[in-house]
Amino acid sequence: MLLRHAELPVSPWRNGAGRKADIAGGPGWFLGFAWLDAAAEFSDYQGQDRTITLLRGHGFALDFAEGPPLLVDQPLVPSAFDGGRACRCRLLDGPCLVVNAISDRARVRHAVEIRAPRSGDTGFAVLLSGGAILPDGTLAQPLDTISLPLAIDAVTCAVFHFTPIA
């Protein structure tokens, strides 16, 4: 299944301080894009693990109420943190686009890898560069999401796995 980035509905963040486009979700997990347009408080995701990956822009810092900030200034480097830690996003030099994976740590584990999808992968792949021709001949563009498993040409993707905890 192909989910086109340009066709995803955009809605406000849970706290109303930004915009997001949901890609997919299920019991205990969520995957979506977010636009960081200005400094803002991040929503409280108590009990959730969160991984944020910078796709576009110069980066940002997450200033936590306690402890050192998390600097996210390298594109395509997944950064994991506790979604329940109170933090404020501070942009380094203009707006950013990110992709978020969030999971309820008591129910689901998630992993994020930057690589080409492999045979046997499950989850989702967000295309990061180039295009991919799907088995039905459809062309997927950068930022489109493919539900795995699906055979695609070797392209750079953010590959997301969500594994229920037994």
Q: How does pLDDT run across 2-20, given as a tens digit for each residue?
A: 999 999 999 988 777 789 9
Query: What is the DSSP code (8-state) at residue 44?
Result: P
Residue 1 within any structural domain of the chain? no
Q: In whole angstroms, what is the distance from residue 78 CA to residue 95 CA?
A: 18
Helix, strand, coil % over all residues of the chain, rounded to 5? 0, 50, 45
Same domain, 64 and 93: yes
Calculate the average pLDDT of the chain.
Answer: 91
**Is the pLDDT score of 150 beyond 80?**
no
Out of 106, 133, 156, a domain closes at 106
Domain's final residue, options 91, 106, 121 = 106
Q: Are residues 77 and 142 in the same domain?
A: no
% of the chain exceeding 70 in pLDDT: 98
CATH number, domain at 29?
Answer: 2.60.120.10
Q: What is the mean pLDDT of residues 64-91?
A: 94
Give the residue-averaged pLDDT of 128-133: 84
CB 126 within 8 A of CB 158: yes
Structure confidence at residue 151 (pLDDT) = 67
Is the model's pLDDT at 43 over the cut of 90? no
The CA-atom distances, in angstroms, between 96 and each of 20, 29, 139 are 12, 23, 26
Q: Taking 90 as the threshold, does the pLDDT of residue 28 lie above it? A: yes
Q: Give all strands (DSSP E) within 92-142, no chain letters.
A: 96-104, 108-115, 123-127, 132-133, 139-140
Model pLDDT, residue 130: 81
Residue 12, domain extent: 8-106
Please name the amino acid found at residue 20: K
And the tokens for 26? 């299920």
pLDDT on residue 154:
62
